[in-house]
Amino acid sequence: MRRILVGFDGSEGAENALNKAMLLIDSDGEIIILAIVPKPSDRNLVDEKAYEVLKLRAHNIINLAIKDLGSHEFTISGMVREGEDIAAVIIDVANELRCDLIVLGSKGSSSLGKYPLGSVANKVVQYAAKPVMVVR
């Protein structure tokens, strides 16, 4: 696989997904770690300060994951996007970046939003036009 998108929220399931992606990536490929935060307009996130804290937490989770992975021949990058429909954002980013594979954890609850990861993975599997791997 040349380009793998990993949905990442810092949970154990997301960590397992990232570890699996590392086994599948080509030596000259790229792993993109994606964290998603709810939009500030989401009715469950009304405080602008809370949104900024959440966004900073997402960046910190990704940066820590990249640091923990160390150096490799393949490229590792991270991004934070916002959206109310987490699965739709994952699918859109995978299409936009022309990823070969989407890898997600099967369980876990995100500290970055209100969405249990399992339900997000289920929706991505149902609607993505790309291959999806769900890791336990």
Instruction: Please report the pLDDT score of residue 131 as a whole number.
Output: 98
- Interacting residues of 134 by C-beta distance below 8 A, sequence separation 6+: 17, 103, 104, 105, 106, 121, 125
Counting residues of the chain whose pLDDT is more than 90, the rounded percentage is: 74
Instruction: Please report the pLDDT score of residue 111 as a whole number.
Output: 53
Instruction: Please report the pLDDT score of residue 133 as a whole number.
Output: 97
What average pLDDT is seen over the chain? 89
Angle between helices 86-96 and 117-127 (to 10 degrees): 50
Sheet bearing 30-37, strands edge to edge: 75-82, 30-37, 3-7, 101-105, 132-135
Domain boundaries, the chain: 3-135
| Domain 3-135 falls under CATH 3.20.20.60 | no
82-99 pLDDT, tens digit per residue, is 998 999 999 999 999 999
Whether the pTM exceeds 0.85: the reply is yes
pLDDT of residue 27 exceeding 70, the answer is yes
30-76 pLDDT, tens digit per residue, is 999 999 998 776 555 567 788 889 899 999 999 999 999 999 999 99
Angle between helices 12-24 and 48-69 (to 10 degrees): 40
Q: Which two tokens stand for residue 22?
A: 């590392």
β-strand partners of 4: 31, 101
